[in-house]
Amino acid sequence: MSDRRIVAAPLTAEAFAPFGTVIDKDAVAPRPMNAGKARRFHDLAQVHVAGADGHVVIGYVEADPYGLPLAFSLVERHPLGAQAFLPLNGAPFLVVVCPDEGGRPGRPRAFVTAPGQGVCYAIGTWHGVLTPVGAPQDFLVVDRGGLGTNLEEYVFDQPWTIQAPPAP
pTM: 0.88
Give mean pLDDT, residues 51-68. Answer: 91
Residue 166: the pLDDT is 81
Residue 1: the pLDDT is 52
Residue 134: the pLDDT is 86
Residues 80-116: tens digit of each pLDDT: 999 999 999 988 999 999 999 999 999 999 999 998 8
Report whether pLDDT(55) > 80: yes
Residues 119-153: tens digit of each pLDDT: 999 999 999 999 999 889 999 999 999 999 999 99
CB 110 within 8 A of CB 7: yes
Q: In order of start, what are the domains of the chain with their CATH numbers?
A: 5-158 (2.60.120.480)
What's the rounded Cα separation, in Å, for the pair 120 and 152?
17
Confidence of residue 37 (pLDDT cuts 50, 70, 90): confident
What's the rounded Cα separation, in Å, for the pair 86 and 60?
10
CB 134 within 8 A of CB 53: no
